[in-house]
Amino acid sequence: MGVEICVEGLTKSFGHQVIWQDVSLTLPAGEVSVMLGPSGTGKSVFLKTLVGLLKPERGSITIQGRDITRLREHDLYEVRKLFGVLFQDGALFGSMNLYDNIAFPLREHTRRSESEIRRVVLEKMDMVGLIGAEEKLPGEISGGMRKRAGLARALVLDPEIILFDEPDSGLDPVRVAYLNQLIVDLNAQIDATFLIVTHDIASARQVPDNIGLLFRRELVLFGPREELLTSDEPVVRQFLNGRMQGPIGMAEEKDAAQVEQELARIDEGPRVRDLTPRLLPGPGITRPPRWEAIARREAELHGTGVSSA
Ligand SMILES: Nc1ncnc2c1ncn2[C@@H]1O[C@H](COP(=O)(O)OP(=O)(O)OP(=O)(O)O)[C@@H](O)[C@H]1O
């Protein structure tokens, strides 16, 4: 059923450079959350801190009753098994074919027989639509396929939490749409807790239960998607609408008077337009009760025609 992650008062610096401070949020068990933020605001650092690869200076990360920032390396190793991570480039070994890449965590971390490994690898390859590509090398396939292979590898140890570091980076809009559908389908099938770091606003509008925004060393907001999409917070409005006008500048600092002037000039139109229909599990995917409830809510909001996008 996935596990909850509770982050409280988390601060991370490198030397004198504070990346973010006093970050508190709860990733609800089994839900999909997205973390947005301008480049360089420390989204990847946040993922690495969650999985215990980086140590924060202050604060706690509680998973299954244990604060993982205080665990010794041996116990941390156990906790890491709860996580599957999809790195930006898939992080595949270039000299291994896809089958061996995906089998790698099973061979490293379990004592399963090769026939059992084969069953799991093929099951996960099937889930991400890669059956038939077992013998391919990472260099022989498209960026989209590499992401899928990275995702299959993240799934083989049956994680309770999956972290996605910019799954859409480097993909064209059509491949991003397929990947988003895959993420939603997977959430309905395996029911793990998902956290997705992305720049892609269209994905953030359609895919998650919750949205967070890191900006100027703070977690500006974290909350249910509907709340964020209709928020009046200028930073959120600017980011979700991909506009130059607003508090976020190229150098990340703008004069308050300039921001005020820019905001006064924007006519946003009716609020209801902001609530993009949510992506639902596709045909053939059995929806668990959580997704049935989401589908009912979408039908209420957008009419009965809403199904998968
Ligand atoms: N190991 C490290 N040592 C020192 N500084 C680091 C380290 N890792 C990241 N940083 C710094 O932390 C800041 C945040 O980096 P991070 O990659 O998390 O940003 P991001 O929000 O993911 O950016 P982008 O959206 O462009 O990928 C950057 O200034 C980066 O230089």
Q: Highest mean pLDDT range out of 18-32, 68-82, 157-171, 276-290? A: 18-32
For residue 309, count other CB atoms closer than 10 A to its CB. 14
CA of 99 to the centre of ligand 1 (A): 32
Percent of the chain with pLDDT over 90: 55
In the predicted structure, residue 41 carries a pLDDT above the cut 70: yes
The three-class DSSP label of residue 19 is strand
* Mean pLDDT over the full length of the chain: 86
pLDDT at res. 262: 57
Closest atom of ligand 1 to CA, residue 197: 22
Helix (H) or strand (E) holding 80: helix 73-80
In the predicted structure, residue 169 carries a pLDDT above the cut 60: yes
As a whole number of angstroms, the distance between CA 295 and CA 27 comes to: 21
As a whole number of angstroms, the distance between CA 211 and CA 222 comes to: 6
Look at residue 292 and tell me if it is in a domain. Answer: no
Look at residue 177 and tell me if it is in a domain. Answer: yes
Helix (H) or strand (E) holding 23: strand 17-27
Look at residue 38 and tell me if it is in a domain. Answer: yes
Look at residue 296 and tell me if it is in a domain. Answer: no
In the predicted structure, residue 76 carries a pLDDT above the cut 70: yes
In the predicted structure, residue 288 carries a pLDDT above the cut 70: yes
Taking the alpha carbons at both ends of the chain, their separation in whole angstroms is 25
CA of 226 to the centre of ligand 1 (A): 29
In the predicted structure, residue 39 carries a pLDDT above the cut 60: yes
pLDDT at res. 170: 81
273, exposed or middle or buried, with CB in 10 Å at 0-12, 13-18, 19+? Answer: exposed
Closest atom of ligand 1 to CA, residue 47: 18
The three-class DSSP label of residue 18 is strand
pLDDT tens figures, 292-307: 999 999 998 887 554 4
pLDDT tens figures, 216-246: 889 988 999 988 888 887 777 777 777 776 6
Look at residue 165 and tell me if it is in a domain. Answer: yes
Query: Stretch 24-45: mean pLDDT, rounded?
Result: 93
Categorize the per-residue pLDDT at 73 as very low, low, confident or very high, splitting at 50, 70 and 90: confident
As a whole number of angstroms, the distance between CA 55 and CA 128 comes to: 33
| Spatial CB neighbours of 264, under 8 Å, sequence gap ≥ 6 | none
Look at residue 91 and tell me if it is in a domain. Answer: no
Look at residue 181 and tell me if it is in a domain. Answer: yes
Helix (H) or strand (E) holding 222: strand 218-224
13, 36, 45, 46: residue to mutate for ligand 1 pocket, most atoms within 8 A of CB: 45
Which residue has the CA at smallest separation from atom 25 of ligand 1?
39
16, 17, 19: residue to mutate for ligand 1 pocket, most atoms within 8 A of CB: 19
Categorize the per-residue pLDDT at 309 as very low, low, confident or very high, splitting at 50, 70 and 90: very low
Which residue has the CA at smallest separation from atom 17 of ligand 1?
44
Query: Stretch 266-288: mean pLDDT, rounded?
Result: 74
CATH of the domain at 37: 3.40.50.300
As a whole number of angstroms, the distance between CA 304 and CA 42 comes to: 40
Categorize the per-residue pLDDT at 24 as very low, low, confident or very high, splitting at 50, 70 and 90: very high
pTM for the whole thing?
A: 0.88
pLDDT tens figures, 243-259: 776 666 655 555 666 65
Question: How many domains does the chain divide into?
Answer: 1
In the predicted structure, residue 269 carries a pLDDT above the cut 70: no
Q: Which domain holds residue 172?
A: 5-82+159-231
pLDDT at res. 272: 43
| Spatial CB neighbours of 152, under 8 Å, sequence gap ≥ 6 | 98, 102, 121, 124, 125, 127, 128, 130
Cβ atoms of 226 and 272 closer than 8 Å: no
pLDDT at res. 259: 57
In the predicted structure, residue 270 carries a pLDDT above the cut 50: no
CA of 19 to the centre of ligand 1 (A): 8
Categorize the per-residue pLDDT at 142 as very low, low, confident or very high, splitting at 50, 70 and 90: confident
Look at residue 98 and tell me if it is in a domain. Answer: no
**ipTM rounded to 2 decimals:** 0.96
